[in-house]
């Protein structure tokens, strides 16, 4: 494909692409809304308020709604936060399996820190505690380790290490657990915090207790003393439980005191599991009458706990079920709405498609018009070029032959007069040179890889003893970028300028300079000849023909000439 056709096609394609982009930009884009978390935050606050009031079913309900709102807003940190609290409530109500399922729902979202950076850790801790409560100690250790790795706070890491060591005690690996607890006692993040320090002391005492060692007592007593000062009754439950276990075979009276104290605190705190544990202790060491009383109380409390926990499980399951149904209904409505919007979009793009087709037809019509117009102009140039070839051939074949015959005639004539002979020979020489020049001016031009060499030879061909032609920077031009039309025009224009120079300028020096800036080519011609008035020069020397040639390649030419000040031509055309 010729270079000019390629340019037309390229411009057309660019126009089509711009059209497609402009149409695509008109597509109704979904508005990216900034996340509105006001509703989610309100629901979280309500859920926490009910949690503090120990109204766990209501708390669970609002945390679940907060989770759904967070899913709509695609806020993963609040999803994790909500699920963490839901799992916490289920664990507190003894629904360990349900709590595990809730934690597992959060696992795909982990890794997002967000506003609640400990959400990931809380999920792992909750899973670990569920496995601990269901005696799945191996998995409990796995998730306590995950929680440890997810934390960066040294205090929290120490707490996780304590939990892992506690699981080891449940596996009866008391020596390994004691080593961990002793290492924790040396850490300042444990020593400087009374709650942590007392917890580790109590756990060490428990390990020694389980191994039947008397040194358990100092640890248990020291832990109890610290915790009594803290005035946190929840943590006293494990102390009283361990001290009962220590004294039950050593001092029944002290054992009974600790068991009763444990039962009283568990009752005040409404901690049913701790109440059952303390009742078991009382049953073991009291008389038969009291033991029966505690046994009946144990049965009643246990039955009540089973009923409450089953009811809680059913409530949690119903809340999730209703929430799932609601989400499915909302999903169906959204899907229906999306289908309606899709139908509108399809109809809209059918209309766009029609407009697009019309515009494509219009573009192709314009392209065809300009292509044919340009092709017609090129055809005219080609016809002119062929005509020049025919003229050159005719002049060469006929006129040169006539000259040759005349020269033969002169050779055979007996010219007695030397002056007449010189005149005839001079005229013949003039005719011959003129014929040769005409032939060169209209000869075939090589537009391929040898164009530059042919052009250079043509330019240097005008060098004579009296006139020196200098060429500057010709090799800087990438001639492969020029079309055949450009090459022919450059060749003919420079040839015409040099012919005019030879005929009219009578200069001793002519300089031709080439400049190339990747978008256009500039040719500067300068000689030191006689110069002339521009109107006179154009009329007599055919410079109008040069202008016409330059216009065919969308170029410009400027002439500068004055008598006795030489002649200049400045040519520029795009490539």
Average pLDDT, integer, range 203-231 = 93
Helix (H, G, I), strand (E, B) or coil at 202: helix
pLDDT-derived band at 539, boundaries 50, 70, 90: very low
Residue 444 burial class via C-beta count within 10 angstroms: exposed 0-12, middle 13-18, buried 19 and up = exposed
pLDDT number for residue 504: 82
pLDDT number for residue 218: 95
Q: What is the rounded CA–CA span in Å between residue 410 and residue 322? A: 125
pLDDT number for residue 220: 95
Tens of pLDDT, residue by residue over 342-386, are 887 888 888 888 888 898 888 988 888 888 778 767 755 664 665
Q: Which two tokens stand for residue 530?
A: 């006689």
pLDDT number for residue 536: 52
Of 516, 518, 510, 509, nearest to 473 by C-alpha is: 516
Helix (H, G, I), strand (E, B) or coil at 164: helix
More confident residue, 458 or 398: 458
Q: Which two tokens stand for residue 253?
A: 């009276």
pLDDT number for residue 336: 75
Average pLDDT, integer, range 394-417 = 61
Average pLDDT, integer, range 253-277 = 91
Question: Mean pLDDT lowest for which of 126-130, 311-315, 469-473?
Answer: 311-315
CATH number for the segment(s) 448-574: 3.30.565.10
pLDDT-derived band at 229, boundaries 50, 70, 90: very high
Residues 6+ apart with CB under 8 A from 211: 174
Q: What is the rounded CA–CA span in Å between residue 391 and residue 399? A: 11
Question: Mean pLDDT lowest for which of 168-172, 233-237, 447-451, 537-541?
Answer: 537-541
Of 159, 162, 69, 170, nearest to 122 by C-alpha is: 159
In sequence order, the β-bridge partners of residue 575 are: none
Helix (H, G, I), strand (E, B) or coil at 528: coil
pLDDT-derived band at 32, boundaries 50, 70, 90: very low
Helix (H, G, I), strand (E, B) or coil at 546: helix
pLDDT number for residue 266: 92
Q: What is the rounded CA–CA span in Å between residue 235 and residue 199? A: 8
Q: What is the rounded CA–CA span in Å between residue 225 and residue 206? A: 16
**What's phi and psi for 556, nearest 5 deg?**
-130, 150
Average pLDDT, integer, range 470-489 = 90
Residue 555 burial class via C-beta count within 10 angstroms: exposed 0-12, middle 13-18, buried 19 and up = buried
Question: Mean pLDDT lowest for which of 47-51, 118-122, 427-431?
Answer: 427-431
Tens of pLDDT, residue by residue over 85-99, are 999 999 888 888 899
Q: Which two tokens stand for residue 91?
A: 């664990």
506 to 432, 440, 471, 492, 524: CA distances (angstroms): 21, 21, 19, 21, 19
Percentage of the chain beyond pLDDT 90 is 39
The average confidence (pLDDT) of the chain is 82
pLDDT-derived band at 538, boundaries 50, 70, 90: very low
Tens of pLDDT, residue by residue over 302-327, are 888 888 778 878 888 888 888 777 76
pLDDT at 404 over 80: no
Q: Which two tokens stand for residue 482?
A: 């020029």
Instruction: Name the most confidently modeled range: 123-127, 301-305, 336-340, 439-443.
Output: 123-127
Average pLDDT, integer, range 406-426 = 63
Where do the domains of the chain lie? Answer: 448-574
pLDDT number for residue 481: 86
pLDDT at 535 over 60: no
pLDDT at 16 over 70: no
Tens of pLDDT, residue by residue over 72-83, are 888 888 998 899
pLDDT at 50 over 90: yes
Average pLDDT, integer, range 144-170 = 87
pLDDT-derived band at 439, boundaries 50, 70, 90: low
More confident residue, 24 or 392: 392
pLDDT at 249 over 60: yes
Instruction: Name the most confidently modeled range: 20-29, 331-340, 428-437, 519-528.
Output: 519-528
Residue 464 burial class via C-beta count within 10 angstroms: exposed 0-12, middle 13-18, buried 19 and up = exposed
Cβ(542)–Cβ(497) below 8 Å? no
How many other C-beta atoms are found inside a 10 Å radius of the C-beta of residue 254? Answer: 14
Angle at 245 between CA 290 and CA 259, to 5 degrees: 40
């Amino acid at each position: 494909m010729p270079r000019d056709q390629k340019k037309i096609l390229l411009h057309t394609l660019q126009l089509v692409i711009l059209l497609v982009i402009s149409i695509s930009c008109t597509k109704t884009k979904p508005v990216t809304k900034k996340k509105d978390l006001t509703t989610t935050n309100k629901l979280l606050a309500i859920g926490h308020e009910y949690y503090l009031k120990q109204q766990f079913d209501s708390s669970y309900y609002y945390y679940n709604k907060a989770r759904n709102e967070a899913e709509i807003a695609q806020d993963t940190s609040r999803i994790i936060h909500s699920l963490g609290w839901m799992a916490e409530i289920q664990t507190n109500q003894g629904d360990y399996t349900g709590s595990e399922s809730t934690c597992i729902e959060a696992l795909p979202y982990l890794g997002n820190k967000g506003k609640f950076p400990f959400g990931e850790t809380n999920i792992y801790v909750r899973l670990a505690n569920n496995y601990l409560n269901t005696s799945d100690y191996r998995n409990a250790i796995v998730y306590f380790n995950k929680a440890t790795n997810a934390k960066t706070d040294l205090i929290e890491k120490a707490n996780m290490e304590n939990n892992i060591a506690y699981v080891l005690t449940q596996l009866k690996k008391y020596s390994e657990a004691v080593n961990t607890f002793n290492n924790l006692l040396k850490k300042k993040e444990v020593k400087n915090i009374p709650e942590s320090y007392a917890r580790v002391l109590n756990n060490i005492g428990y390990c020694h207790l389980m191994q039947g060692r008397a040194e358990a007592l100092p640890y248990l007593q020291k832990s109890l003393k610290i915790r009594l000062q803290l005035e946190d009754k929840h943590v006293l439950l494990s102390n009283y439980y361990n001290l009962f276990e220590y004294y039950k075979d050593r001092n029944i009276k002290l054992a009974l005191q600790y068991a009763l104290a444990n039962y009283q605190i568990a009752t005040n705190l409404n901690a049913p599991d701790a109440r059952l544990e303390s009742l078991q202790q009382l049953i073991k060491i009291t008389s038969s009458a009291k033991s029966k009383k505690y046994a009946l109380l144990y049965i009643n409390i246990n039955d009540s706990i089973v009923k409450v926990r089953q009811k809680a499980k059913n409530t949690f399951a119903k809340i999730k079920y209703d929430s799932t149904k609601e989400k499915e209904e909302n999903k169906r409505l959204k899907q229906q709405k999306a289908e309606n919007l899709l139908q509108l979009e399809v109809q809209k793009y059918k209309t766009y498609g029609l407009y697009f087709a019309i515009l494509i037809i219009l573009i192709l019509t314009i392209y065809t018009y300009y292509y044919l117009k340009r092709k017609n102009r090129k055809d005219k140039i080609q016809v002119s070029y062929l005509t020049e070839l025919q003229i050159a051939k005719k002049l060469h074949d006929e006129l040169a032959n006539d000259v040759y015959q005349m020269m033969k005639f002169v050779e055979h004539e007996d010219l007695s007069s030397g002056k007449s002979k010189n005149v005839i020979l001079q005229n013949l020489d003039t005719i011959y040179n003129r014929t040769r020049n005409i032939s060169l001016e209209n000869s075939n031009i090589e537009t391929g890889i040898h164009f530059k060499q042919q052009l250079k030879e043509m330019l240097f061909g005008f060098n004579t003893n009296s006139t020196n032609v200098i060429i500057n920077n010709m090799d800087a031009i990438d001639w492969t970028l020029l079309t055949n039309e450009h090459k022919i025009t450059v060749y003919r224009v420079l040839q015409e300028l040099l012919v005019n120079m030879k005929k009219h300028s009578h200069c001793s020096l002519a300089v031709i300079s080439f400049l190339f800036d990747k978008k256009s080519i500039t040719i500067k011609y300068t000689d030191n000849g006689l110069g002339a008035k521009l109107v006179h020069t154009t009329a007599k020397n055919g410079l109008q023909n040069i202008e016409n040639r330059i216009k065919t390649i969308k170029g410009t030419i400027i002439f500068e000439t004055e008598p006795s000040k030489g002649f200049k031509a400045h040519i520029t055309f795009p490539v």
